[in-house]
Amino acid sequence: MDFLDAVRACLGKYGTFVGRARRSEYWFFVVFSYLVGQATLPLSFIVGHYGGLLTLATIALLVPGIAVGMRRLHDTNRAGWWLLLNLVPIAGQIVLTIWMFERGTPGTNRFGADPAPETHAGGAASDANTLAPV
């Protein structure tokens, strides 16, 4: 999944809190959200709203951000409620960041089918230790 596909998937599943999300989908959306924030803050000062555009962008990306976070936790076979660890200063964010970097559970888990694509017909999902052919 490339950057644009990940952003389209997250915005297309705006309020979808069920299912699973791959690491690439989650992290590309995190990068997209960061870039939107970096672009809107200076623009809001240029147009004279002093953070207004940033606030609107944050509100617009809040629900899909929570949704993709929950789906990412589902991929690691954890309930979405673990996102509340963000409320625990420092330690909560560290634990969640580690979990978000973890590989998802292979195959179907209690939250749905594996979102990782198969490498060839009847084959297993691509392994992190093998390189895909170019």
Q: Report if residue 118 sits inside a domain.
A: no
Tens-digit pLDDT profile for residues 18-35: 999 999 999 999 999 999
Q: Report if residue 127 sits inside a domain.
A: no
Give residue 61's pLDDT: 96
- Contact between residue 82 and residue 54 where contact means Cβ atoms under 8 Å apart: no
Instruction: Give the range of the structural domain holding residue 49, as residue numbers without chain letter.
Output: 3-101
Range 121-131 average pLDDT: 46
* Structural domain count of the chain: 1
Q: Report if residue 28 sits inside a domain.
A: yes
Q: Report if residue 38 sits inside a domain.
A: yes
Q: What is the pTM of this model?
A: 0.82
Q: Report if residue 108 sits inside a domain.
A: no
Tokens of 91: 């330690």
Q: Report if residue 117 sits inside a domain.
A: no
Q: Report if residue 124 sits inside a domain.
A: no
The burial class, CB within 10 Å (0-12 / 13-18 / 19+), for 58 is: middle
* Range with top average pLDDT, 32-36, 55-59, 117-121: 32-36
| Alpha-carbon gap, residue 1 to 115, rounded angstroms | 11
Q: 5: closest CA among 24, 31, 19, 18? A: 24
Q: Report if residue 131 sits inside a domain.
A: no
